[in-house]
């Protein structure tokens, strides 16, 4: 094993975290240089140097007013959601304490009340960190979106820089916070398990207690994704169906009563929910790797090996930091075509930079000797490196496949656009077919990575591949956050009447953001598959300890296992039905309210009366919070009840069934929704040539535009697809991870 000491491991991690926070602060200060309030005009703002007229000051004040309204709605929703989550965390903490603390002694192993209390504490710390991560992301996005709209007056390059730097703040702040909090939790717990380097049983108990951290993060992420997803899609669908389809007014028109709620939804769903979600992925994958490391008789004595999972994520911060220079300094965006290329370059460069780094880290921290881990003999540093690289590069491949199926630069989305010529029905048929087809290559990619990693290092290798795909998480979060920030900027530009040329800039940013958001979802779903399987491996090994024998395999012909497989495979469908219906019910209430306002206040249409935005924000808030409870309870209590009543065989079946089924549905739903969205934008941008009858009665061809029949068909598809890509798809990959994390933490009950 490596001679690296525990202090040196901690020093490396803290140094990387410090750099990550400094990067976040630096780019936050860069974003803050764009000033919106009129009383601050002239205070060293590079943008305002170009704003000489009173009209510019008026527009800036209008932007600031809109931003304040969005911020107020987002804050109100999150505080109310977090009050619900506080109750959940308090109640479930007691369940964790009782479940772990009162588990029977089996195989000579029994968790103590001290173990149970620390597991509960780790759960609370993970939940609070996840909540803080979501709140930080939301705050950054709300602060930046108006500044992106304002900077768009200087061109698409300036707007891109503002959106990208704001996304960078979120990416580096959240990953640095996650690494720091997990490190602090481990250090605190080690004080209670002082013999963890000398006694393997003590080391196992330590890291099994730490796994509560991942459970806390993923539990909050589930409610954040479901609640935020229901909110944003209810508002979006309500605004689109009445505003764009029935009234024929532009998207994000200030006359639409649901427009503020729609913009709020981008922040609470696509930013706060996404931040909590990807923090949960990091926490779960790291906890799974730590548990598997502690279960190795060769690795648990090595501080370097125990710290290796955290080292990968920490050093990934540095690789991601270097990568940002390629978009902020080396290759600047000057035209629309540069935007998507710049964002794709981030994924490629970060992957290339991280690849040799993985070999260096593995050799430095795992040493040159072979070891046994996860019942797999002959594992060494270079085999572990290959596992990490397999995850890292499979993530990139999944990202590019996702781009191919969701970007209007390629054939699949253009075929969906063409199908709009014959109406909304064919658009929906083509979109669904695209989603199903898009599952094929990512599935082969995930399967190949799992086979390679398991062959090289068993379940530990799969845990390393999960860390590999998440090793460049700051970059993934950056481009994920960039999309909703740009989307909000376009809405603000429309509401502030900034003109079509500004909206063209923000629409170009948003179109690229839709593709990169889809890539981010593909990334997250792929990582969820690896994380879930790694957690499953840790669960099986933990069950082995409690039974006192080696549970090397799970027999699918065992009746409880097979029954569990069927239930697990059904779970994503049940969950999807609940979330989709919740979006539909919330959207119905929103549509009724928007119709009511237009009917009872016709002066809204000529701008002489202002819509009641607050009413729509309130409807979306109440509906989202009410509707998120049932799907969340389904996910949490299914593995708990199954394992408690029917044992670990049934629990194993549920975990595998949910993984196999959920990955397919999540990829399909996310890509179908993304394709419908970009097909609409392709038609709006005039990418489709359509036949029309001219004034002289002659048939002629011209580029498509808003208001055409093909555009209305595309809007219908996009409206249907919204809950697919922003509620169902993202929530499913949280489900996949959460059921596995729950089973790991509550393993003593299942024996």
Tokens of 248: 């024929």
Contact criterion met (CB below 8 Å) for 625 and 81: yes
User: Looking only at Cα atoms, what is the longest distance across the chain?
Assistant: 91
**What whole-number percentage of the chain has pLDDT above 70?**
93
pLDDT, residue 362, reads: 93
Mean pLDDT of the chain: 84
Paired residues of 373 in beta bridges: 376
Burial class (CB in 10 A: 0-12, 13-18, 19+), 611: buried
Determine the pLDDT at residue 56.
66
Report pLDDT for 243: 74
User: Dihedral (C-alpha) 137, 141, 144, 150: value to the nearest 10 degrees?
Assistant: 170
How is residue 566 written in tokens?
């069927």
Most confident listed range (38-47, 265-274, 436-445, 510-519):
436-445
At 251 the pLDDT is 67
Position 40 confidence tier, pLDDT thresholds 50, 70, 90: very low
Helices (H), 423-558: 424-437, 440-469, 473-495, 500-547
Tell me what pLDDT residue 4 has: 82
pLDDT band at 42 (very low <50, low <70, confident <90, very high): very low
For residue 179, what are the contacts with CB-CB under 8 A and spacing of at least 6? 13, 16, 17, 20, 282, 310, 313, 314, 317
Q: Which residue, among 638, 665, 687, 644, has the nearest Cα to 733 in the 3D structure?
A: 665
Domain boundaries, the chain: 6-750
Give the pLDDT band of residue 26 (cuts 50, 70, 90). Answer: very high
Structure tokens at 673: 């929704």
Residues written for the chain: 751
Task: For residues 144 and 219, give the distance between their C-alpha atoms in angstroms, rounded to a whole number.
Answer: 28
Average pLDDT (104-116) is 68
Residue 692's H or E segment, with its range, is strand 689-693
Query: What pLDDT score does 609 carry?
Result: 84
Strands 689-693 and 699-703: antiparallel
452-483 burial, b at 16+ Cβ within 10 Å, e below that, comes to bbbebbbbbbbbbbbbbbbbbbbbbbbbbbbb
Quote the pLDDT of residue 552: 58
Predicted confidence (pLDDT) per residue in 448-499, tens digit: 999 999 999 988 999 899 899 889 989 988 888 888 888 888 888 888 878 7
Q: Is 695 helix (H, G, I), strand (E, B) or coil?
A: coil
Inter-residue contact 66 to 498 (CB < 8 Å): no
Angstrom distance (rounded) from CA 539 to CA 744:
5
Averaged pLDDT for residues 310-337:
88
Q: Cite the DSSP H helix spans in 102-155.
A: 113-151
Sign of CA dihedral 216, 222, 225, 230: negative
Return the structure tokens found at 191.
């004080």
pLDDT, residue 22, reads 95
**Reported confidence tier of residue 65, pLDDT bands at 50, 70, 90:** confident
Rounded CA separation 171/499 (Å): 31
List of E strands, 578-642: none
Q: Extract the tokens encoding 446.
A: 């995930």
Nearest to 583 by CA among 235, 81, 73, 80: 235
């Amino acid at each position: 094993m490596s001679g690296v000491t525990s202090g040196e491991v901690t020093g490396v991690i803290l140094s990387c975290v410090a750099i990550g926070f400094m990067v976040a602060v630096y780019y936050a200060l860069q974003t803050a240089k764009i000033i919106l309030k009129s009383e601050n005009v002239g205070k060293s703002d590079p943008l305002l140097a170009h704003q000489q007229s009173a009209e510019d000051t008026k527009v800036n004040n209008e932007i600031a007013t809109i931003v304040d309204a969005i911020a107020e709605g987002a804050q109100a929703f999150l505080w109310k959601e977090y009050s619900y989550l506080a109750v959940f965390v308090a109640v479930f903490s007691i369940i964790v304490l009782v479940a772990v603390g009162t588990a029977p002694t089996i195989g000579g192993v029994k968790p103590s009340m001290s173990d149970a209390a620390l597991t509960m504490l780790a759960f609370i710390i993970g939940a609070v960190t996840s909540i803080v991560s979501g709140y930080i992301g939301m705050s950054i996005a709300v602060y930046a979106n108006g500044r992106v709209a304002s900077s768009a007056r200087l061109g698409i390059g300036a707007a891109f820089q503002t959106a990208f730097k704001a996304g960078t703040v979120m990416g580096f702040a959240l990953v640095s916070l996650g690494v720091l909090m997990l490190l602090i939790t481990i250090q605190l717990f080690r004080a209670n398990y002082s013999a963890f380097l000398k006694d393997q049983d003590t080391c196992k108990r330590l890291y099994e207690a730490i796994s509560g951290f991942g459970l806390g993060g993923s539990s909050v992420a589930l409610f954040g994704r479901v609640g935020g997803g229901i909110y944003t899609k209810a508002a979006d669908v309500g605004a689109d169906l009445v505003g764009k389809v029935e009234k024929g007014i532009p998207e994000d028109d200030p006359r639409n009563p649901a427009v503020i709620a729609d913009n709020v939804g981008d922040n609470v769903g696509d930013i706060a929910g996404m931040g909590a979600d990807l923090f949960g992925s990091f926490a779960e994958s790291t906890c799974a790797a730590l548990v598997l490391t502690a279960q190795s008789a060769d690795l648990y004595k090595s501080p370097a090996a125990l710290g290796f999972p955290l080292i990968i994520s920490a050093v990934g911060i540095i690789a991601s930091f270097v990568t940002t220079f390629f978009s902020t300094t080396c290759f600047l965006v000057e035209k629309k075509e540069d935007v998507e290329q710049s964002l794709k370059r981030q994924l490629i460069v970060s992957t290339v930079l991280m690849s040799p780094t993985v070999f260096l880290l593995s050799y430095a921290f795992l040493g040159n000797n072979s070891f046994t881990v996860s019942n797999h003999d002959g594992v060494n540093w270079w085999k572990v490196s290959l596992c990490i690289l397999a995850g890292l590069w499979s993530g990139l491949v999944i990202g590019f496949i996702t781009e191919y199926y969701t970007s209007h630069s390629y054939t699949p989305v253009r075929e969906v656009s063409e199908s709009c010529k014959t109406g909304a029905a064919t658009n929906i048929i083509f979109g669904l077919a695209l989603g199903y087809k898009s599952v094929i290559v990512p599935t082969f990619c995930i399967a190949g990575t799992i086979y390679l990693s398991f062959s090289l290092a068993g379940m530990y290798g799969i845990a390393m591949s999960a860390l590999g795909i998440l090793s460049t998480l700051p970059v993934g979060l950056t481009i994920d956050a960039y999309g909703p920030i740009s989307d909000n900027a376009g809405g603000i530009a429309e509401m502030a009447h900034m003109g079509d040329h500004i909206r063209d800039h923000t629409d170009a940013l948003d179109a690229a953001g839709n593709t990169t958001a889809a890539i981010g979802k593909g990334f997250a779903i792929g990582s969820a598959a690896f994380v879930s399987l790694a957690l499953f491996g840790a669960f099986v090994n933990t069950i082995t300890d409690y039974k006192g024998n080696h549970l090397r395999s799970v027999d699918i012909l065992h009746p409880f296992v097979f029954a569990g497989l069927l239930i697990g495979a059904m779970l994503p469908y049940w969950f999807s039905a609940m979330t989709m219906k919740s979006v539909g019910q919330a959207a119905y209430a929103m549509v009724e309210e928007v119709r009511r306002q237009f009917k009872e206040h016709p002066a809204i249409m000529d701008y002489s009366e202002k819509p009641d935005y607050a009413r729509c924000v309130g409807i979306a808030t109440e509906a989202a919070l009410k509707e998120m409870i049932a799907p969340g309870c389904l996910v949490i209590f299914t593995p708990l009840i199954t394992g408690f009543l029917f044992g670990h065989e049934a629990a194993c079946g549920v975990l595998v069934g949910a993984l196999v089924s959920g990955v397919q549905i999540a990829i399909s739903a996310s890509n179908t929704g993304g394709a419908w969205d970009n097909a609409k934008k392709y038609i709006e941008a005039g990418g489709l040539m359509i036949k029309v009858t001219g004034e002289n009665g002659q048939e002629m061809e011209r580029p498509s535009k808003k208001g055409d029949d093909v555009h209305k068909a595309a809007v219908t598809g996009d409206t249907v697809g919204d809950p697919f890509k922003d509620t169902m798809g993202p929530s499913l990959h949280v489900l996949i991870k959460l059921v596995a994390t729950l089973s790991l933490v509550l393993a003593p009950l299942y024996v």
